[in-house]
């Protein structure tokens, strides 16, 4: 479970704390031709290696880094002025799904996920995170 928390932390740091608005603007303008796009998802990989502190999870980190790049690139081509908030939420949802999916695949955790769906505190955190991030994109 600690690995998953570190993966989420790396994602939050990489997508919200260490990504300047100028990178976002350049990525939206040049899309796949933007060097900032590749720098952005490479930063995610470095953050995951730092937070996991070692190379035991190398394939997990590489899979998540690649999926992050693919998801971000698809979002850049799908979004426009009118649907940008919607694609931001879709983008974040896909990142969460890929983080959890790859974590399950590479670490085979031994606990029931159905308990998560019944945990009111976890659901409250999810709603708060969505509300805060969506507010920033309105």
Helices (H), the chain: 2-12, 21-30, 35-52, 58-78, 84-107, 114-117, 120-137
Average pLDDT for the chain: 89
Which is higher by pLDDT, 111 or 93? Answer: 93
What confidence score (pLDDT) does residue 111 get?
A: 65
Matching residue, tokens 């190398």: 58
Prediction pTM value: 0.81
Does the pLDDT of residue 114 top 80, yes or no? no
Task: List pLDDT tens digits, range 60-98.
Answer: 999 999 999 999 999 999 999 899 999 999 999 999 999
């Amino acid at each position: 479970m600690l690995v998953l928390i570190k993966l989420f932390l790396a994602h939050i740091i990489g997508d919200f704390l260490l990504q300047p608005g100028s990178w976002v603007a350049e990525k939206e303008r040049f899309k796949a031709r933007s060097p900032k796009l590749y720098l952005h998802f490479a930063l995610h990989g470095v953050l995951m290696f730092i937070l996991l502190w070692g190379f035991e999870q190398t394939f997990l980190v590489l899979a998540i880094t690649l999926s992050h790049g693919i998801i971000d690139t698809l979002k850049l081509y799908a979004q426009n002025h009118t649907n940008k908030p919607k694609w931001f939420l879709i983008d974040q949802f896909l990142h969460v799904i890929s983080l959890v999916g790859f974590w399950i695949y590479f670490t085979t955790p031994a606990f029931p996920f159905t308990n998560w769906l019944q945990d009111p505190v976890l659901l409250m955190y999810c709603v708060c995170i969505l509300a805060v991030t969506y507010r920033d994109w309105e």
